[in-house]
């Protein structure tokens, strides 16, 4: 069957039918192509780019220009998956006007289908402004890494009744503001179940248990290419780093020993031409 480009109405239909939505991060063309070929519904060009690709300690330093540069490559590789560009820290907090202008760059310059931004009820006016400009917004609540310092670190959120109530309230406000989807990061599964039930829009979990409408993971965690640490919520499906390291060591040795390139990787010239040369 011919695969069509995934749309927002496909996400809504999946939620209605109880079918799970798959989302994966990607930051470049080859990864986006593989994610797309795997039939994954949505690709998030996450600001986790800052850590897993650019080598920063956190997500705060990544810039609009860096996010756009990587989003463009992802869009070129995603023939079918729905691509969401993650708005970096301070690209949407200054004012709703500034947020709309930056969100517009993800759509016009990078070719993303939607943007994502972090924050609860306080971000509802920003979500409303971007949606009013015609740009779909995916919200993100719970552990919001851009403001982890304010949350006193990378901690599970909504662990007491009051915190959980605030998360449900935030999710409702963000849906009312026009968000088409919401990421729930690091919250107890009973709380994400409550949010998922309360909303008409799909919830996408990361460290938020199985009751969400879909799941997202960071690509480098899933394939074992980020070795600094592995959070509890990550399932590593393959451990590529040792394999890649071994291949690189073998290459270095073969170069040093003159084994590579062999005749099968070299180009020849007719003997008479070589003689003339």
Contact (Cβ atoms closer than 8 angstroms) between residue 67 and residue 75: no
Contact (Cβ atoms closer than 8 angstroms) between residue 152 and residue 179: no
Stretch in the footprint of ligand KIV (CB under 6 A) among 40-48, 89-97, 220-228, 253-261: 40-48
Pick from 123, 138, 141, 216 the residue near ligand KIV by CB under 6 A. Answer: 216
For helices 124-132 and 96-108, what crossing angle results, to 10°?
Answer: 50
Pick from 21, 26, 27, 46 the residue near ligand KIV by CB under 6 A. Answer: 46
Position 214 contacts ligand KIV (CB under 6 A): no
Least Å distance, CB 177 to ligand KIV, is 19
Binding to ligand KIV (CB under 6 A): which residues in 177-206? Answer: 183, 185, 206
Residues 165 and 159: their CA atoms lie apart, in Å, by 10
Instruction: Using the minimum distance from each CB to ligand KIV, give the nearer residue, 124 or 218.
Output: 218
Catalytic residue at 185? yes
Q: Centre a 10 Å sphere on the Cβ of residue 13 and count the other Cβ atoms it contains.
A: 11
- Rg over CA atoms, the chain: 22
Pick from 26, 137, 139, 218 the residue near ligand KIV by CB under 6 A. Answer: 218
Contact (Cβ atoms closer than 8 angstroms) between residue 113 and residue 136: yes
Position 21 contacts ligand KIV (CB under 6 A): no
Residues 122 and 181: their CA atoms lie apart, in Å, by 17
Torsion angle defined by CA atoms of residues 249, 253, 255 and 261, in that order, rounded to the nearest 10 degrees: -90
Stretch in the footprint of ligand KIV (CB under 6 A) among 43-51, 107-115, 130-138, 232-240: 43-51
Closest residue to ligand KIV, judged by C-beta, is 46
Least Å distance, CB 227 to ligand KIV, is 17
Position 47 contacts ligand KIV (CB under 6 A): yes
Q: What share of the chain is helix, strand, coil (3-state, %, to 5)?
A: 45, 15, 40
Contact (Cβ atoms closer than 8 angstroms) between residue 55 and residue 61: no
Say which of 185, 246, 257, 264 is annotated catalytic: 185
Positions marked catalytic: 185
Which residues are at the interface with ligand KIV (CB under 6 A)?
25, 44, 46-48, 86, 183, 185, 206, 216, 218
């Amino acid at each position: 069957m011919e695969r069509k480009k995934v749309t927002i109405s496909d996400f809504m239909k999946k939620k209605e039918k109880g079918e799970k939505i798959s989302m994966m991060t990607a930051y470049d063309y080859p990864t986006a192509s593989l994610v797309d070929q795997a039939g994954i519904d949505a690709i998030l060009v996450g600001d986790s780019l800052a850590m897993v690709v650019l080598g920063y300690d956190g997500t705060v330093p990544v810039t609009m220009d860096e996010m756009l540069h990587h989003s463009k490559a992802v869009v070129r590789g995603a023939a079918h998956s729905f691509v969401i560009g993650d708005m970096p820290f301070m690209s949407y907090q200054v004012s709703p006007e500034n947020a709309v202008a930056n969100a517009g760059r993800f759509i016009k310059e990078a070719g993303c289908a939607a943007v994502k931004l972090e924050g609860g009820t306080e971000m509802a006016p920003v979500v409303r402004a971007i949606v009013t400009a015609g740009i779909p917004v995916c919200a993100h609540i719970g552990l919001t890494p851009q403001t982890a310092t304010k949350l006193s670190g990378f901690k599970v959120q909504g662990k007491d009744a009051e915190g959980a109530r605030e998360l449900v309230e935030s999710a409702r406000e963000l849906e009312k503001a026009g968000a088409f989807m919401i990421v729930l990061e690091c919250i107890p599964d009973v709380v994400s179940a409550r949010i998922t039930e309360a909303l008409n829009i799909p919830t996408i979990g990361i460290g938020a248990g199985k009751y969400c409408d879909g799941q997202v993971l960071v690509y480098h965690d899933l394939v074992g290419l980020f070795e600094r640490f592995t959070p509890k919520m990550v399932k590593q499906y393959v451990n590529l780093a040792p394999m890649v390291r071994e291949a690189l060591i073998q290459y270095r040795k073969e170069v040093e020993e003159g084994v590579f390139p062999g005749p099968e990787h070299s180009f020849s010239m007719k003997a008479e031409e070589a003689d003339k040369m």
